[in-house]
């Protein structure tokens, strides 16, 4: 088994902490380790670093290398994509790398995971890896389903069908539906959010790619070096759209653990430990009469007086103050900033 960790995404939803050149996977959230380092640690319970491939792009190479060295995982492979083409090409290139460089055979199972999620408890995750790999080895594409909490439109939705040996067949996979569709899924019941983790054998991935994304499959038939040379010609498409929405071999295992994709400051507030007044305090901050408020300092003293349901994030060049529940709108600030430049 090999673990493929996807660490090439950009994203600025956690502005001002995440920036295009320093995205979410490198942030320390929920502990002293970055989300990428926490991901590596989760898998080390079952796999040595030399059986992990971190796939990213040149811009993030040093961040990845620093994280791996810092946590004693420098023997993990860093695979650099020549261009960002979303997750389907990144995974196809990783599969080719496993076949040609690591000497895997097509029956080898891959566990593909995002690098920017929180999962707890870590120990229970080891058992989930085993379950997923077992099902993958029978020729299925395994996903993990999260009990949906609301009609979030930033996730894939999985409609569970008949029970299988473990988990359920997938009746339908819908990547990022619009709000009305997401609400109808929630009302109907029997749907999960897609966690973004996948397990399959290399052979199964390549077969399903031949069937559903032939242009990428054609490229993935070339030896690794040639695929690397041609990588920028790959279609820009996610694994969810390219394979998961279309394949009939997808099964879903209910995840059953705490999972948070921390896509916003509200999600960070929810994930972090609170003081007696329900505040999240990080760094040099004085909360005076504050309730249910996040104060985060990265240098300067932050003093909050009488704040409720507020998010305050201080960085060397930007301070963001937002009402809780509205942090998704911080992306509009980033858009305005881009127009200024």
Site of interaction with ligand GDD (CB under 6 A): 6-9, 25, 55-56, 81, 84-87, 90, 114-116, 154-156, 175, 193-196, 240, 261
Tell the residue number behind the tokens 């972090």, with chain if given. 272
Q: How far is the C-alpha of 90 from the C-alpha of 236, rounded, in Å? A: 10
Measured CA to CA, the distance from residue 35 to residue 141 in angstroms comes to 25
CB of 63 to ligand GDD, least distance (A): 12
Residue closer to ligand GDD by CB (options 91, 295) is 91
Q: Which is nearer to ligand GDD, 182 or 322 (CB)?
A: 182
Closer CB to ligand GDD, 88 or 295, in the complex? 88
CB of 244 to ligand GDD, least distance (A): 7
Check: CB of residue 330 under 8 Å from CB of residue 13. yes
The minimum distance between CB 7 and ligand GDD, in angstroms, equals: 5
CB of 195 to ligand GDD, least distance (A): 6
Asked if 170 and 158 count as a contact pair (C-beta separation under 8 A), the reply is yes
Q: Give the shortest CB-64-to-ligand GDD separation in angstroms.
A: 10
Q: Which of 154, 164, 163 is nearest to 194 (CA)?
A: 154
Angstrom distance (rounded) from CA 135 to CA 112: 14
186/184 Cα distance (integer angstroms): 5
Distance in Å, CB of 156 to ligand GDD, minimum = 3
- DSSP, collapsed to helix, strand or coil, labels residue 175 as strand
* Nearest residue (CB) to ligand GDD, 80 versus 126: 80
Nearer to ligand GDD, 79 or 272 (CB): 79
293-296: Cβ within 8 A, 24+ apart = 293/324, 294/265, 294/268, 294/269, 294/324
Buried b (16+ CB within 10 A) or exposed e, 250-267: bbbbebebebbbbbbbbb
CA atoms within 13 A on the CB side of 336: 6
Residue 185 beta carbon to ligand GDD: minimum distance, rounded to whole angstroms: 13
Would you say 192 or 314 has its CB closer to ligand GDD? 192
Residue placing its CB nearer to ligand GDD in the complex, 194 or 247: 194
């Amino acid at each position: 088994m090999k673990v493929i960790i996807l660490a090439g995404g950009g994203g600025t939803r956690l502005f001002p902490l995440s920036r295009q050149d320093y995205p979410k996977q490198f942030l320390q959230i929920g502990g002293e380790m970055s989300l990428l380092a926490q991901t590596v640690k989760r898998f080390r319970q079952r796999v040595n670093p030399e059986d992990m491939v971190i796939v990213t792009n040149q811009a993030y190479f040093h961040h990845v290398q620093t994280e791996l060295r810092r946590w004693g995982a420098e023997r993990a492979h860093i695979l650099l994509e020549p261009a960002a083409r979303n997750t389907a090409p990144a995974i196809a290139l990783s599969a080719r790398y496993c076949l040609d460089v690591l000497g895997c055979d097509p029956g080898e199972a891959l566990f593909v995971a995002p690098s920017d999620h929180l999962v707890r408890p870590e120990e229970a995750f080891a058992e989930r890896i085993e379950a997923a790999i077992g099902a993958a080895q029978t020729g299925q594409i395994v996903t993990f389903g999260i009990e949906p909490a609301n009609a979030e439109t930033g996730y894939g939705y999985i409609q569970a069908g008949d029970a299988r040996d473990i988990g359920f067949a997938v009746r339908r996979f819908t990547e990022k539906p619009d709000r009305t569709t997401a609400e109808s899924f929630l009302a109907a019941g029997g749907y999960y959010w897609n966690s973004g983790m996948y397990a399959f054998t290399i052979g199964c991935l390549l077969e399903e790619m031949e069937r559903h994304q032939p242009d990428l499959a054609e490229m993935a038939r070339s030896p690794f070096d040639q695929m690397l040379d041609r990588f920028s010609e790959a279609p820009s498409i996610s694994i969810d759209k390219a394979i998961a929405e279309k394949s009939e071999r997808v099964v879903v295992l209910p995840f059953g653990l705490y999972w948070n994709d921390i896509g916003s400051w509200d999600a960070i507030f929810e994930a972090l430990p609170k003081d007696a007044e329900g505040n999240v305090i990080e760094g040099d901050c004085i909360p005076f009469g504050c309730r249910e408020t996040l104060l985060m300092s990265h240098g300067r003293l932050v003093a909050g007086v009488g704040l409720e349901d507020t998010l305050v994030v201080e960085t060397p060049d930007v301070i963001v103050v937002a009402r809780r529940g509205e942090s998704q709108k911080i992306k509009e600030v980033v858009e305005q900033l881009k127009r200024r430049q």
